[in-house]
Structure 1
Amino acid sequence: MIDLDAIRADPKPIIGYSDISLLHMALHAKTGLVGFHADIATHGFGSDWYTLGDAARRSELVDLYTRVLTKAEAPGVLPAGGAWEAWRPGRAQGPLFGGLLNRLVLLQATPFAPAAERFDGAVLFWEELQRPVSRIWNDLHTLRLSGVLDRIAGRVVGIPTEVTPHDDGGDRAVLRDVVLDVLGRRDIPVLAQVDFGHTSPNLPLPVGVRADVDADNRTLSLLESAVAEA
């Protein structure tokens, strides 16, 4: 078992994605620790960053990670590496919560999940891999029925990896269709194809830190520091 008192007494950055999403959300719920949904050594810093073939982008990421992990200042606008998409217009500010979608759903069935009211006004970010969109539809509805999706103020969707469309009798549903279907009439911004997920490089997303999602201008900004300088 994890010693929660030790984490409260001496907080340290926990960095990673995928299954580590469970740790980020559970530890933030129980201790307030800010975890970083971000690249790891094996599939990020130690490999993929050095096969980018883009020295300017690599330098930009090094500067960003350094500021996010070591500086007691708001990092501001996160630099896009590709073309982000506005799936629903609008702008919202709130604390960042999220991670790997199927792990977020599993967490909801445990006592380590954040209380539903913690998602009031939050910006939910998620990514997924190796799932058909029909499974994603189910998972999103699970979050809706657990009280999460009706409370959030905005949504940020990462780059999907091996997510397959659903074909049924000639009707073809892709990820965007599923996201907007579950969202229904809720008028909140949805920014998609943002640089995080089971791909690299990942932008660092600190759990619990206030962010601004502006789908109209296709920007995501961190509004406060994720760390305190020693």
Structure 2
Amino acid sequence: MFKPKMLRKGDTIGLVAPASDSSKEKVDKSIEYLKSQGFKVKVSDSCYSKKGYLAGDDELRAKNINDMFKDKDVDAIFCIRGGYGVHRILEKIDYDLIKENPKIFMGYSDITALHIAINNRANLITFHGPMTVSDMRDGLDSFSLQSFKEVLMTSENTLEINNPEGEKIKSIVKGIAEGELIGGNLALISGTIGTPYEIDTEDKILFIEDIGEYTFRIDRMLMQLKLAGKLDSVRGIVLGDFNNCVQEDKEDQSLMEVFEDILIPLRVPIIYNLKSGHCTPNITLPFGSKVEVNGDEGRLIIKERVTIDG
């Protein structure tokens, strides 16, 4: 996998809106936060655009991403928010251009589809982490900021991913496995199945999270991955935050019962309650990097440096 240049204070962060729109006030507040952290900011047109539930039309949103990767003055690219719309632009992204201009690319939620496509087609490590409007406009919490800096702004060859104090990373299935970390939002992952952009899970460590889904829907999406063969060859699974994923009816299966039915029979190491996803704090994870999942001790360790000096 190609590695982007490490982020440093004084670097220019390009903002893109690949999915849903936001307000000018929220975008401007997030820009001020990034500047307060010592970064320069370049804003694409999509960040201030609106077309129905989208941040401008598909051509604009895709062009802004391509242009930010091509722009030599831009050091990293952050998404302002998720929502909906990324699947509509996957065919319009220039993956060869991205491969030739590797940069930090960060977001989560709907941005999952871009993580999968860029990992697969440009062989670039990308970052599942906070977005500017969604998480930064009122100031990033201290733990998320620390995680952001540890992953994007240090040159460690190994780095353990830790939860905040009082939030234990727990184990469902014991064992230790290594592989490339991939994944993201479960709904978006399942939405890639059967397309040219579907997730590659072979010999990978699969990370999944979601928000606001009834447990029967989590069941359905996991079964879609299972029936598509996407769980057959995973080496391990990391379950992130499942914010407000509850039973529709009191007699429905609980979230843990769904995991036990579908994931435990895979007999691979599984940990859960990693605070990454639609939650605060929101831990930054490097997709495409080599990691170790330790189901004996409830640990996740990045096993390689994920950025390079530049």
Q: What TM-score comes out, normalization by structure 2 length?
A: 0.66
Q: Does 1:174 align with 2:267?
A: no
Equivalent pairs, count? 217
Residue 65 of structure 1, aligned match among 124, 127, 148: 148
Residue 76 of structure 1, aligned match among 159, 162, 181: 159
Residue 28 of structure 1, aligned match among 102, 116, 119: 119
- Identify if the C-alpha distance between structure 1 residues 162 and 64 changes in structure 2 by more than 3 Å, giving closer, same or farther: closer
- Identify if the C-alpha distance between structure 1 residues 90 and 47 changes in structure 2 by more than 3 Å, giving closer, same or farther: farther
- Identify if the C-alpha distance between structure 1 residues 150 and 165 changes in structure 2 by more than 3 Å, giving closer, same or farther: same
Higher relative contact order (CA closer than 8 Å, sequence separation 6+): 1
Measure how far apart 1:36 and its partner are: 0.5
What are structure 2's unaligned runs of at least 5 residues? Answer: 1-91
Q: Which moved more, 1:64-73 or 1:93-102?
A: 64-73
- Identify if the C-alpha distance between structure 1 residues 93 and 16 changes in structure 2 by more than 3 Å, giving closer, same or farther: same
After TM superposition, the structure 1 = structure 2 runs for residues 68-217 of structure 1, keeping only pairs within 5 Å, are: 68-81=151-164, 82-114=167-199, 118-165=200-247, 167=249, 171-217=251-297
Which one has a bigger Cα radius of gyration? 2
Contact 1:68–1:75 (CA<8 Å) still a contact in 2? no
Measure how far apart 1:88 and its partner are: 1.8
Measure how far apart 1:89 and its partner are: 1.8
Measure how far apart 1:44 and its partner are: 2.5
Secondary structure of the structure 1 residue equivalent to 2:156: coil
Give the Cα separation in 1 of the matches to 2:260 and 2:214: 16
Measure how far apart 1:75 and its partner are: 4.0
The CA deviation string for residues 49-104 of structure 1, in whole angstroms up to 9 with x for no partner, is 34xxxxxxx2x654442242134432421121112221222221111011000000
Measure how far apart 1:106 and its partner are: 0.5
What are structure 1's unaligned runs of at least 5 residues? Answer: 51-57
Q: What TM-score comes out, normalization by structure 1 length?
A: 0.87
Residue identity over aligned pairs, in percent, reads 28
The CA deviation string for residues 13-49 of structure 1, in whole angstroms up to 9 with x for no partner, is 1111000011001111111111101111223334363
Secondary structure of the structure 2 residue equivalent to 1:83: coil
Q: Give the AA of the match of 2:117.
A: A
Give the Cα separation in 1 of the matches to 2:239 and 2:280: 15
The CA deviation string for residues 123-158 of structure 1, in whole angstroms up to 9 with x for no partner, is 100101111111111110111111111110111111
Give the Cα separation in 1 of the matches to 2:252 and 2:216: 11
